A and B are shown apart, each in its own frame.
Chain A
Amino acid sequence: MIGNPEDMMVEAVKRATKRANPALEKLLEVHLRLNANSGFELAYRDPKRFKDFVNRLFGEYSGRLLEMLIVDEIKRMLEIGEDLENLEKAVEILRMIV
């Protein structure tokens, strides 16, 4: 059980990336380190900026798919059926619940 909301988000990003394509996890990590000087924790600290970097790397369409997968992972981890539209909402929920 992961108790820290930022750790939960990092885990959700890892799981979502693995679902999409396991080979891309490392690629995204390196891309964030080089360009944002951050890791997957950026998804929690600044979700909008995280999405911008993902879109630049994978394209907006794949970026949106990955965002939906991350949100889906958060919903599974929290065991909630809530209708979460985007990463920003998921971060809000994490901050409230965890």
Chain B
Amino acid sequence: MNPLQIFVESSKKLTPSLIEYEVGTEVEMIVYRYLEDVRSYYDDVLMVSFVDAHVAFLEYLKRVLRRDVLRDVEVISLLSKKFKDSESAPLIAGRLGSIIEGKRGKILAVFLGLDFYSIVFSEKSLLELFPRIVNLTRYNRNLNIVSVFNGAIFSSSVSQMLYTFSLNVMKLSIERTDGDFKRVLTIIRSAFPEYNLRRWHYDVIGDNINFMFDRSSNSNHFKLHP
């Protein structure tokens, strides 16, 4: 299995999931590939977008893929510049809860722009909101949650909270070695302990992602499955 397949399978078993990314990791393509892989598993896929985060996400995909994508994904836009709705955490959670409660079958909710929300409002707002997002599963037991978030730009209390509440975590980072930049994907936490803390270097070429296992993250008990 490649690391994305590990994350895909793990996110079906454990929720909530977190994709933590850094600037420059082409997180858009990772999320797109993730959505492509899991789409048939769910009856409904919701993209919950804060502060128009989905617009930037879709702009990237249109530029790179040169076609309309994710047409069967329902976008729920919150705090868009077009509609000034409330930033109150209980109100946002209540609105999402009522949408999710009415859905039948397996549901995936992908949260984009929680980091945007935190920049525009405050870290405190996010600290109030995120536990409520995690709790949305009480509205519907068939709900799986994935958050896409840049943790590096916030204080450690934000990162700690995200990690505490997320059972399945994948981290995308940039590593500088010998004057060169490499993208790194690390499985931090998953349903498959043998893969936890394993790392892969990856390149995005067009709509392909090429993964290369980082053997330095290997250990004696770990067997690599190509």
- A residues contacting B by CB (< 8 A) are 19-21, 23-24, 27, 55, 57-66, 68-69, 72, 85
A64-B24 contact in complex given A21-B152, A23-B181, A85-B81, C-beta closer than 8 Å: no
Residues of B contacting A55 with CB < 8 Å? 59-60
Contact of B28 among A21, A57, A60, A72 (CB under 8 A): A60
Cα A66 to Cα B153 with chains together (Å):
10
- B residues contacting A by CB (< 8 A) are 21-28, 51, 53, 55-57, 59-60, 63, 81, 112, 115-116, 119-120, 150, 152-153, 174, 176, 181
Cα A62 to Cα B81 with chains together (Å):
19
A61-B56 contact in complex given A20-B153, A69-B119, C-beta closer than 8 Å: yes
**Min CB–CB distance B159 → chain A (angstroms):** 14
Residues of A contacting B57 with CB < 8 Å? 60-61
Closest to A71 in B: B119
Residues of B contacting A24 with CB < 8 Å? 23-24, 174
Task: Describe A's contact surface by its main secondary structure.
Answer: helix
| 29 A–B pairs (Cβ distance < 8 Å), ordered by A | A21-B23, A21-B174, A23-B176, A23-B181, A27-B181, A55-B60, A57-B24, A59-B24, A59-B26, A59-B28, A60-B57, A60-B60, A60-B63, A61-B57, A62-B21, A62-B23, A62-B24, A62-B25, A62-B27, A64-B53, A64-B116, A65-B23, A65-B115, A65-B116, A65-B150, A68-B51, A68-B116, A69-B153, A72-B119
